[in-house]
Amino acid sequence: MRTKLLLTTVFVAAAACSCSRNNKSPEEYVNSDALIVYESTEIPEANKTPRTVVTAVPEQKRMTYAFNGTNVEIMLGDEEIGEIATYYPADNPPQSSDIILGDFNFDGCGDIFIYNQGHEGEAGTYYCFDPKDRQFVGNDQLNNIGKLLSHGDDDTLVDNYEIDGRKIALYYKWDNGELKAVKRTETYTDITDNMEHTDTYEFDKNGEAVLVTGQ
């Protein structure tokens, strides 16, 4: 009953307002007595209150993993987002030391590297997270290299190894979905002066290494 009375009151008031406006002549609408003039004055800088904008930072979900027999379950927060089958035997399943998490294709999503059993030659398999399908997929570009790469400067991935006493660092960088070698450094001791030297090579558009600094 109270709701009906309120609705009726509003309706009557609105009708009265409408009738009142229809009875006015055009001159009455511009009568100076009916006008209210607002004057604005600029507020001095000293009297202005600084405006503080608070931006809420979205919660960052941590990527973790767990073992299910020889499989690796990947978790994002409390949500399971994938399970990867490994080639480890049932009597010798993978351990935490066999798993490396990181962003290896620099797309902002967490990826995973699983060492081959025994870690021989740092070899293993890369699985990159596909946010569209929400699953981990083997990455052919990375798996063509097939060993754990470290992160270098300027979004590079670095393969460090040694040949005949020379310490070599081979730098890779993503270019439109293709992983390309962009630089190589070789550090060695020169027998002529018994000093350590570093030669730096850069790869041209044809993939040829060109010496830019060194001997």
Structure-model confidence comparison of residues 17 and 196, the more confident one: 196
- Burial environment of residue 143 by CB neighbours within 10 A (0 to 12, 13 to 18, 19 or more): middle
Summarize pLDDT for 44-68 with one digit per residue, the tens: 655 555 555 556 655 667 889 999 9
> Hey, what amino acid is at 163?
I
Which pLDDT score, from 0 to 100, does residue 50 have? 57
Which pLDDT score, from 0 to 100, does residue 159 have? 97
Residue 164 DSSP code: T
- Residue 215 binned pLDDT confidence (cut-offs 50, 70, 90): low
Which pLDDT score, from 0 to 100, does residue 78 have? 86
Percent of the chain having pLDDT more than 70?
72
The model's pTM is 0.69
Which pLDDT score, from 0 to 100, does residue 164 have? 92
What DSSP element (H or E) covers 78? none
Summarize pLDDT for 151-189 with one digit per residue, the tens: 999 999 999 999 999 999 999 999 999 999 999 999 999
Quote the CA–CA distance of 167 and 174 in Å, as a whole number. 23
Write down how long the chain is: 215
Structure-model confidence comparison of residues 149 and 42, the more confident one: 149
104 Ramachandran zone, left/alpha/beta (phi>0; psi -120 to 50): alpha
Quote the CA–CA distance of 183 and 152 in Å, as a whole number. 12
Quote the CA–CA distance of 139 and 179 in Å, as a whole number. 11
Which pLDDT score, from 0 to 100, does residue 76 have? 85
**What is the helix, strand, coil percentage profile of the chain, to 5?**
20, 40, 40
Which pLDDT score, from 0 to 100, does residue 81 have? 86
Cα end-to-end span (Å), the chain: 98
